Each structure stands twice: as structure tokens, then as C-alpha cells.
Amino acid sequence: MALPEPLPWHEVPWRAFAAARAAGRPPHAVLLWGPPGLGKGLLARRMAAALLCEAPAEAGPCGACRACGLVAAGTHPDLVLAAPEEPGRPIPVDAVRELAARLALASHGGGWRVAILEPAERMNVAAANALLKTLEEPGPDTLLVLVSHLPGRLPPTVRSRCHRLRVPVPDAETARRWLAERLPEVAEDALAAALAAAHGAPLLAESLSREGRLAERAAVLEAWLQAARDPAAAGAVAADWDRAALERALGWLEGWSVDLARLAAGASADVLGSPDLAARLRTLLEGLDLSRLHRFHGRVRRARRLARESQAGVQPLWEDVMLAWAGGEEEA
């Protein structure tokens, strides 16, 4: 397994990291943050590889040595990864304790020890507390990388002890060119639709394209557009969803309700989160009750939170949201 190629939009945070290292003052803890779909986790692995590589160059890890191979495979003995056991669940507190313990031990190779926590916002209070001692008294030659697209959810005690590096969304042309290289068989307008659906994040656009998610997104939109007329059919769309599909659907719905409010205020399509859907969203404008839209937006946010943090069933949560839109009911 090889290390992934560096991504063009990682250049700014990478240079900040490399400069600190070259100056002999690498941070002990880094918070890589930015929207989902930018490859923040890949950047974290390149940082780990740069420190663990047996023949690092100025531009980064060599990508060819044994250490780089082990980092790419996630099996380097001096690299610890902590992540949820399945997407959407919390990072187990035991995984964070294990990570803290291993950062406190001497390295296998006599060099750096690196730990990556992703997504860091999935730490609960106990897990964050288990990490605090590591952050307060980092050992020599240790790097802890926290990866998060919701850094505001991290406890301030954790956030304030990290060197923050923002991973930016690339400009439209960089994103288009990268995606076209990855997906040469996909037509230009389909690439543009995928990038629009991904809010400009190229890796998210790639997975939307590869996994047929654009069709899924279209089905969710149609369900919402039709919910007022046929809430039962709109609810049935979720029949074979897993929790991840529900979270995607609710994420889209939250963005679209904001877009709808923008359209109602007279905004043009190019300022929307999903400009490709402007024409479809405009069909909801006639007779739109803004206070109802506002309540609905709150309802979707609550459902997202429940989907993330509770064991509530996937289909009941979705049906509840569709019924709320159909009935325009009052917020409880």
C-alpha cells in the first residue's frame, strides 16, 4: 500500500506544518479542521509519515520506505489511530486511553510517536478528559493530530491546546481539474453537479459520484418536494436506509431549508449551498410560510442530533421529519 499523493489544496496547511518542523518547533498537537470531503485524514497521515519516514525529503515523506508503507496501511507501531468502531458512533474512551498510554511510552523505532484522532468531535467528555494529560504534558517527539469538521464541538480545554491548521476548500477550477482526473469517464456536467452537491469538497464529490449518491440525493429532494402531498410515500423512501444514509439525508435537508430561506429573501442561485437545485427548490416558494420553514429547520437539526447521539430508529426519525413538513406542526 502506498501513501496517497499530496492534494493541491493541502499545500497551505502542509507548508505551515513543514515550516514549524524545519524551524525546530513542531507543535505537539495539531487540529486539522475544515468541511468534510477535503481529505483531512489523508493530510494527517502524510504528517505522520513525514515524521516516521526513514528517508524524508523537504517536500515530505518519501512514500517508498518501509515506514511510509506501514503508515499508509495504518499498521506502523509508532502510529496510533483512534476512531469510532462504526461511522456515527462516539470514539470509545478506551481507545483514547490506549492512545494516551502509547504516546507516553518510548517509541519502537527510537524516533517519533504519532497519534491521529478522527473525527475528534466524536469524543465524549470522558474521552476528552483522558486526552487532557497528554495535551498538558506532551512527551518529547510526540505529535497528536485531531481531525475535525466540527471543531466547535471540541471542549475548549482540548481546542485551546492544539495548533490549528485550517484545510481550505479549493477554488472551483482546482476542484474541477482534480475531479476530472480522478473520474475521466464522467461527463463535465455530472462532475459539476457532484461538486455542487459536495459544496466544493472534491473527495466528497468523488464519493458522491462513485457511490451513486447523486441519485440518492435526488430521491431525498423529491421526497421532500412531495411530502406535503404524500407524507407516507415521502417517509417510505427511508425503508432501506442505514444510519449513515439518514445522516446524509438530514444534512442535505438542513442545507436545503437554509437555501429555501435564502431564495425566499430574493437571493440568487449562485449564493446557495446547492446552486444546482435552485429551480427545484423554487417550486416550494409559492405560498411558503417562513415561520413554518424556520420550525422545520429546527426540527431537522434536532433529528440530526438524535440520529447521531441516540439509538432512535432510522425510519421513524425520517418519517417524523417528513410529517412535520407535511403538517407544518408546531414545534413541541
Residues near Zn ion, by CB under 5 A: 53, 61-62, 65, 68
Question: Which residues sit opposite 117 in a β-bridge?
Answer: 82, 146
Rounded to whole angstroms, how far apart are CA atoms 120 and 302?
A: 21
C-alpha cell at 266: 430574493
Q: Nearer Cβ to Zn ion, position 50 or 284?
A: 50
Strands, E assignment, the chain? 29-33, 79-82, 113-117, 142-148, 163-166
The closest of 265, 253, 263, 264 to 302, measured between CA atoms, is 253
Cα–Cα distance measured from residue 254 to residue 300, given in angstroms and rounded to the nearest whole number: 6
Cα diameter, the chain: 69
Q: Residue 166 and residue 26: Cα distance in Å, rounded?
A: 16
Quote the Cα angle for 294-295-297, to 5°.
65
Fill in the DSSP letter of residue 23. Answer: T
- Which of 28, 82, 81 is CA-nearest to residue 51? 28
CB of 67 to Zn ion, least distance (A): 5
Residues 6+ apart with CB under 8 A from 14: 6, 43, 46, 60
Distance CA 39, CA 1 (A): 17
| CB distance 31 to 162 below 8 Å | yes
Q: Shortest distance, CB of residue 23 to Zn ion, whole angstroms? A: 22
